[in-house]
A and B are shown apart, each in its own frame.
Chain A
Amino acid sequence: MAPSFDTLRDDNFDEDDFDVDEVDVSDLREKYEVQLEQGYDAFVVVDGLPEVNEEQKPKLVKFLLKKLNTVGKTSEDLIFMPMGEDGKSLRFAFVEYSSPAEAAAAVRQLDYAPLDKRHTLRVNKLTDIDRYGREGRVDEEYTPPHIDEFQEKEHLRSFMADPSGRGRDQFVMFRGESVGVFWANDKEAPENIVERPHWTETFVQWSPLGTYLTSVHAQGVQLWGGASWTRQKRFAHPFVNLIAFSPLENYLVTWSNRPISIPEEGHPMLSLDDDGKNYVIWDIETGKPLRSFAQQDVQPPAVDENAPKKPVKNPWPAFKWSADEKYVARLNQGTSISVYELPRMNLLDKTAVKLDGVMDFDWAPATVQRDGVKTYEQLFCFWTPEIGSNPARVGLMSIPSKEVVRSLNLFNVSDAKLHWQSEGAYLCVKVDRHSKSKKSMATTLEIFRVKEKGVPVEVVDTIKDTVINFAWEPKGDRFVIITTTEPVAPGAVPPKTSVAFFCPEKAKGNAVGNFKHLRTLEKKNSNAIYWSPKGRFVVIATVHNQQSSELEFYDLDFEGEKPEAEKDFTANLQLMNTADHYGVTDIEWDPSGRYVATWASAWKHTMENGYHLYDFKGEQLREEPVEKFKQWQWRPRPPTLLSKEEQKQIRKNLREYSRVFEQEDNERISSADVAVVEARRHLLEDWYAWVAAMEEELAEERAYLGLPADPVAELLKAKTAEVAADGEEQIIEEIMEEVLEETEEIVQ
C-alpha cells in the first residue's frame, strides 16, 4: 500500500539516516557531464589558398571569410592560418564553424569553389584529414584502383519485343501478396511472364519509360528489369513511402515521412549528412544519393483569418523535373521556388527564385520552342494569390535566365490550378473566382498559347459552375471539363455533374482557332476524365462512387455525319459505348491506346475487387474478379524511334499491314477454337467412358449379390399394389399444360 498522509510515520521525515554519499549518481553524471573536449566535427581545413605574408594575411582572411560565411557562421578569430618559418603562409587554414552541420555544408558547397582566377578552394573536414591523411593510412605506393571486368547487362528494353510478334503490351498486377507481370492477351487470359510472392511490401511502380519495375520495402526501393527480372539497383532509403522518377528515368526521388536516422555503425549508402532528412534524390545509373532534403512544413498561407486551417499536406511530387531533367525544382510555399541544376544538384545561381506568396508551379512537360526565341530554355508556370492590394498573378518563367516571359494579373481569385498540355503547347489555368461578396463561385479558364508569338492568352468564361476536373487531349488541342453546381463535401452524396467538351474553331492554314464550347452532357455522375495517350478517344467515368460506376467511351473524330451546328469545330463528338464496372476505383489506358483497364482495388474497398479490360471502343474484352486485387499498371513504352515521315508512311499503308495482322489473328483464334473443341471432346469421351464402366461394374455387383437391377422398382410395385388394394384413395389429378403459341426468333 502506498503511504498516505495518515499513515506516514515520523521516520519518513527523518533525513538523518539518509547518507548522501551512498547515492549512486554515476549514471546521471555520465548523462549530464559537460563534454569539455568537443569533437572536431565543426572544423574544416581550407586548402589551395594563395601564399601570403603577415601583412597580407588579414586581407586574405577577410576575403576568405566572405566566402566561408555563405554557408555557415564563423569569424576572424576562428580562422587559424599557420605561417611558415620564412614568414610566408603555408597556403592553408583551419576554420571552425558554429556547428558540424555548417562544416558539412562548407565541404559540400565550397570544395572546388573558385577563390579567384588562379586559386580554387579545397575544403575538407578536419576529421576526414585526420582519418585519411595520417601517416600509414594511405599507402605510399600508388595502387591503381581495381576496375571490375565489364559485365554485359541484360537488354533492359527486351520487353519491347513481344515473342509472339503481336506487339502486345505488358502490365503488372498486384493482388493478395503476389506480384505478377503479364502480356495482355486481348480476350484470352493474360500470359504470365513472371510471378513472385511478396515481391513488394506496399506497391509497385514502373519507371516512366518502362525500363524498371520498382518494388518498395521498409529498407528501401529496388529496381527490377531485363528479360530475367533480376535486380538492377537498390536504393536504401529506410521506411520509404513514396517514390517518383525523373521523366527520362535517370534520377529517382524517394520520400519517407520519418526523418532518416543514421545508426551508429553507419549506413551502406547514406552518410551522416543525410541524417534527419526526408527526401533523397538518387542517381539511378550509379545508385548513389545525390542530395537529401528535409521536409518543409507547408503551412497554408492565411489568406483569410477566419478560414479554418486546412490540415498540412505534403504536396507530391515535391520535386518537379524539367522535361530534359536538367533542372529539378521545389516549391517553398509562399516565398520562393528552389531550382537545382543536375547532375551536381547545386542551387541555380545559388539562390532560390523569390516569388512572394507563390502557391504552385509546374514545369512544361516538354521542351517548348517559343516563337522567336533561339536560346535554350525550360519553362515553368506559377501563380501567386492576391496579397494586399496586389492582384493575383500567373507567370511563365524561363530557366536558366529566371525571366518572367509572360504574366497575367487576375482579381477575386480563390484558387488556381495549372494544367499543361502534354507537348507544352498550351497552358490552361483554371481560376476559381469568388464574387465580391465571396458567396458565389465561378470558374474561368485562361489558356496560354505558349508556342505563339508573345504568348497570347485566351479566356473561356462561359462556365457558370465550379470545375472539378479538367484534362487536355494528349498531343492535341481539345479538352474536357467536368463541372458541378456545388462544391463536393466529402462523404455526402455527390451532386450531379456536367461534362463539357471544348475544341478550337476551324481556322485558316495551320493556325489553331479560338477555343469554343462543343457540347455539354447534363445530369451525369461522372467525375473522372481519361484520355487515350494517343488522343482522339476519351473515357468519362464515375470512380469511387457507391451508387454509380459508369464508363462512357467517346470518339472526338467520329467518321460519320457531323451535326450542322458544329461544322465549324475541329471535332465530331460521338458516344461509342457505355459500360458499367461496379465499384471501379482506377482506370488506365495502355500506352498504345488500344485497351483500357479498369479495376476495383482492395486498397479502397473490399467489394467485388478485380479488373475489367475494354478495347478503345468500349467493348468489354475480359472481366475477372480477383480477391484482394490491389493494383494494375501498364508498362510504359519509350517514345517511338521512327521519324515523322516513317510514321506517316505506316499510317498510309495501314490497310496492308492490318490485312496481314487480321489474317494472323483469325488463324490464331480458329486454331485456339479447334483446340478448345478438341479438349471438350476429350472431356466428354472420358466422362461417358467412366460412367459406362461404373454402370457396368454396378450391374455386375448387383447381379453377384442377387439384387434386382433397380433397387426400388419392387418396392414401388408393392406400394402401388397396397394403395390400389385400399381402393378408397383414388384421386387422380392430371395437369394439362397447353402451349397456345410458341415462336422462336433468332436475334443476330
Chain B
Amino acid sequence: MRPILLSGHERALTQVKYNREGDLIFSTAKDQQICAWFAHNGERLGTYHGHQGAIWTVDVDPTSTIIASGSADNTIRLWEVKTGKLLKTWDFPTAVKRVEFNEDGTKLLGVTEKRMGHLGTIVVLDIKVDVEAEQSDEKALTIVCDESKATVAGWSYLSKYIIAGHEDGSVSQYDGKNGDLLYNLPVHELNQPITDLQWNHDRTYFITASKDKTAKLISAKDLEVFKTYVADTPLNSAVITPKKDYVILGGGQAAMDVTTTSARQGKFEARFYHKIFEEEIGRVRGHFGPLNTVAADPTGKGYASGGEDGYVRVHQFDKGYFDFMYEVERERQNKLAAQGAGN
C-alpha cells in the first residue's frame, strides 16, 4: 500500500513513536517542534512548542495523556497530549538524548549527554500521569556513566531494570530501584556506538542497533544475546514488530558522507529480517537520506520511519506481510490450530 508521507518537519527526524493504541504518532526532529499525527490518514493533530533546540527524543505514557520530550536545550519537558500545554520543565547541565516512560507511566528516565566536563548520566523522575497534578522537581535517581556514556536507555518489565546502550558498544543492566550496575557486557563491536534500543510488547527482551552494522536481540533478565541481524550499512534504529516475528532495521551511510554517495550507495532502506531465523526477508525503499528512526505500530498493522531527509513515512502492511510464513512456522501454526480444535 502506498505509504503516507508526513512532511511537517523541516530538518532531520530524530525519533518517531506510536502511542499504545497505534492511532497517534509523535515525531521529533532537529527543528524545534514535536508533531503529533493521526496514524490512519497522516493528518496532523498538532505541534508542541517551547523547546529552544533540536529535539532528540519523545515518549508517550501508556494512557496517551502526556508526552515527555528531551532536547538539546538541556531540558526534559512534559506536555499534555490533548491540548499541547507545557506541564513541566526540568533543567539539566547538558542535552537530553533519550527519554522513556516505564510500563505504567509512573517513572520517566532521561539520558543526558557527556559534555563540558559533565559526565553522561541516566536520571529517573517520578511522574504523576495527571495533567492537573504538580510534578516533583526532584530526581528520584541519578546513575552516572563514568566508563562510557550511555546513548540510549529503557525500562524493563516491572521497571525492574534499566538497560542502557553505550557509546563503546556495550550494554548495561542497572537495578531499576537503586541504580546499581548489575552487568555490563560488550555486545557490539568495541567503540561502535549503540544507536537505538527498543522493547518487545512486555519488555522482557529488546533489540539494539549499532554503527557496527548489526542489530541484536537481547534478553532483559540476563543480557543474553539471542539473535544477531547483519546488515551492510551502519544502523541507526531497530524495532521488533508485534504480531509477526519480524524486526525492522533502519540506517544508511552516515549523514555527513551522504552527499558524496549516490542514493543507491547510501542504502536508505528499511530492512525486514525474520526475528527467529535472522534472515533478511525484504526491504522498503523511499527515503533519500539515512533512516534515523523506525517505529512499529503496537497493534501490528504498520510501521513508520523517520529519515535524515526530514520525512516520516507511515506504512500499512499488505496482505503478503501477514501471509508470509516459513514452512516450519506454518507447521507449528497448524499444530497449534489442531490442538485448539482438539480442546
Contact code string A704-727 (vs B, CB < 8 Å = 1, else 0)? 010100011001101100000000
Bound complex: CA A140 to CA B41 (Å): 106
- In the assembled complex, how far is the CB of residue A141 from the closest CB belonging to chain B, in whole angstroms? 67
Q: Is A579 interfacial (CB-CB < 8 Å)?
A: no
What's the count of A-B pairs with C-beta under 8 Å?
62
- In the assembled complex, how far is the CB of residue B227 from the closest CB belonging to chain A, in whole angstroms? 9
Q: Is A562 interfacial (CB-CB < 8 Å)?
A: no
Is there contact, CB below 8 Å, between A715 and B104? yes
Is there contact, CB below 8 Å, between B261 and A677? no
Q: Is B300 interfacial (CB-CB < 8 Å)?
A: no
Is there contact, CB below 8 Å, between A680 and B103? no
Contact code string A657-698 (vs B, CB < 8 Å = 1, else 0)? 000000000000000000001001101100110110011001
Bound complex: CA A687 to CA B221 (Å): 15
Q: Is B134 interfacial (CB-CB < 8 Å)?
A: no
Size of the chain A interface, CB-CB below 8 angstroms? 28
Is there contact, CB below 8 Å, between A582 and B264? yes
Bound complex: CA A698 to CA B62 (Å): 19
Bound complex: CA A694 to CA B206 (Å): 13
Known A-B contacts A684-B329, A715-B63; the reply to A694 vs B276 at CB < 8 A is no
- Checking B65, B202, B277 against A719 with a beta-carbon cut-off of 8 angstroms, the contacting residue is B65
- In the assembled complex, how far is the CB of residue B330 from the closest CB belonging to chain A, in whole angstroms? 11
Q: Is B157 interfacial (CB-CB < 8 Å)?
A: yes
Is there contact, CB below 8 Å, between A735 and B221? no
Q: Is B158 interfacial (CB-CB < 8 Å)?
A: yes
Is there contact, CB below 8 Å, between A707 and B63? no
Bound complex: CA A216 to CA B40 (Å): 63
Is there contact, CB below 8 Å, between B264 and A687? no
Bound complex: CA A200 to CA B91 (Å): 57
Contacts of A695 in B (CB 8 A): 202, 204
- In the assembled complex, how far is the CB of residue A697 from the closest CB belonging to chain B, in whole angstroms? 8
Known A-B contacts A680-B277, A683-B276, A687-B276; the reply to A712 vs B63 at CB < 8 A is yes
Q: Is A133 interfacial (CB-CB < 8 Å)?
A: no
Bound complex: CA A711 to CA B204 (Å): 14
Bound complex: CA A16 to CA B334 (Å): 114
Shortest Cβ distance from B158 into A: residue = A701
Bound complex: CA A681 to CA B40 (Å): 37
Is there contact, CB below 8 Å, between A702 and B62? no
Is there contact, CB below 8 Å, between B202 and A698? yes
Is there contact, CB below 8 Å, between A698 and B204? yes
Is there contact, CB below 8 Å, between A680 and B129? no
Mark out the residues of chain B between 220 and 252 whose CB falls within 8 Å of any chain A CB in the assembled complex.
221, 226, 232, 245
Size of the chain B interface, CB-CB below 8 angstroms? 32
Contacts of B105 in A (CB 8 A): 712, 715
Contact code string B309-343 (vs A, CB < 8 Å = 1, else 0)? 00000000001000000111101100000000000
- Checking A607, A683, A698 against B265 with a beta-carbon cut-off of 8 angstroms, the contacting residue is A607
Q: Is A625 interfacial (CB-CB < 8 Å)?
A: yes
Contacts of B65 in A (CB 8 A): 719
Q: Is A169 interfacial (CB-CB < 8 Å)?
A: no
Q: Is A608 interfacial (CB-CB < 8 Å)?
A: yes
Contacts of A712 in B (CB 8 A): 20, 62-63, 103-105
Contact code string A392-431 (vs B, CB < 8 Å = 1, else 0)? 0000000000000000000000000000000000000000
- In the assembled complex, how far is the CB of residue B261 from the closest CB belonging to chain A, in whole angstroms? 7
Contact code string B250-287 (vs A, CB < 8 Å = 1, else 0)? 00000000000100110000000000110000000000
Mark out the residues of chain A between 593 and 609 whose CB falls within 8 Å of any chain B CB in the assembled complex.
607-608
- Checking A607, A681, A688, A719 against B63 with a beta-carbon cut-off of 8 angstroms, the contacting residue is A719
- In the assembled complex, how far is the CB of residue A530 from the closest CB belonging to chain B, in whole angstroms? 25
Contacts of B232 in A (CB 8 A): 625
Bound complex: CA A687 to CA B227 (Å): 10
Contact code string B185-227 (vs A, CB < 8 Å = 1, else 0)? 0000000000000000010110000000000000101000010
Is there contact, CB below 8 Å, between A677 and B327? yes
Is there contact, CB below 8 Å, between B204 and A735? no
Is there contact, CB below 8 Å, between B63 and A683? no
Shortest Cβ distance from B278 into A: residue = A683
A contact patch SS = helix
Contacts of A705 in B (CB 8 A): 158
Contact code string B171-197 (vs A, CB < 8 Å = 1, else 0)? 000000000000000000000000000
Bound complex: CA A578 to CA B129 (Å): 62
- In the assembled complex, how far is the CB of residue A698 from the closest CB belonging to chain B, in whole angstroms? 6
Shortest Cβ distance from A729 into B: residue = B82
Bound complex: CA A681 to CA B276 (Å): 10
Contacts of A694 in B (CB 8 A): 204-205, 219, 221
Shortest Cβ distance from B326 into A: residue = A680
Shortest Cβ distance from A679 into B: residue = B277
Contacts of A711 in B (CB 8 A): 62, 103-104
Contacts of B277 in A (CB 8 A): 680, 683
Contacts of B204 in A (CB 8 A): 691, 694-695, 698
Is there contact, CB below 8 Å, between A735 and B40? yes
- Checking B157, B319, B328 against A681 with a beta-carbon cut-off of 8 angstroms, the contacting residue is B328
Known A-B contacts A694-B221, A707-B158, A712-B103; the reply to A684 vs B63 at CB < 8 A is no
Bound complex: CA A705 to CA B232 (Å): 44
Bound complex: CA A680 to CA B274 (Å): 11
Mark out the residues of chain B between 105 and 131 whose CB falls within 8 Å of any chain A CB in the assembled complex.
105, 129
Interface centre among B204, B205, B245, B329 (most CB of A within 10 A): B204
Contacts of B158 in A (CB 8 A): 698, 701-702, 705, 707
Bound complex: CA A576 to CA B328 (Å): 36
- In the assembled complex, how far is the CB of residue B130 from the closest CB belonging to chain A, in whole angstroms? 10
Shortest Cβ distance from B200 into A: residue = A691
Bound complex: CA A690 to CA B319 (Å): 29
Is there contact, CB below 8 Å, between A684 and B261? no
Interface centre among B158, B261, B329 (most CB of A within 10 A): B158
Bound complex: CA A718 to CA B276 (Å): 37
Shortest Cβ distance from B62 into A: residue = A712
Is there contact, CB below 8 Å, between A684 and B104? no
- In the assembled complex, how far is the CB of residue A206 from the closest CB belonging to chain B, in whole angstroms? 29
Contacts of B332 in A (CB 8 A): 684, 688
- Checking A608, A683, A698 against B157 with a beta-carbon cut-off of 8 angstroms, the contacting residue is A698
Bound complex: CA A30 to CA B41 (Å): 94
- In the assembled complex, how far is the CB of residue B95 from the closest CB belonging to chain A, in whole angstroms? 30
Bound complex: CA A607 to CA B328 (Å): 37
- In the assembled complex, how far is the CB of residue B176 from the closest CB belonging to chain A, in whole angstroms? 13
Is there contact, CB below 8 Å, between A716 and B328? no
Extra contacts, 10 of them, besides A677-B327, A680-B277, A687-B245 (Cβ < 8 A), are A607-B261, A607-B265, A684-B276, A690-B219, A694-B205, A695-B204, A711-B104, A715-B105, A716-B63, A735-B41
6 closest cross-chain pairs (CB), A and B: A712-B62, A719-B63, A711-B103, A680-B328, A681-B328, A711-B104
Name 30 interchain pairs, CB-CB below 8 A, sorted by A: A582-B264, A607-B265, A608-B265, A680-B277, A680-B328, A681-B331, A683-B276, A684-B276, A684-B328, A684-B329, A687-B226, A687-B245, A687-B276, A690-B219, A694-B204, A694-B205, A694-B219, A698-B157, A698-B202, A707-B158, A711-B103, A712-B63, A712-B104, A712-B105, A715-B104, A715-B129, A718-B63, A735-B40, A735-B41, A742-B319
Q: Which residues of A contact B (CB under 8 A)?
A: 582, 607-608, 625, 677, 680-681, 683-684, 687-688, 690-691, 694-695, 698, 701-702, 705, 707, 711-712, 715-716, 718-719, 735, 742
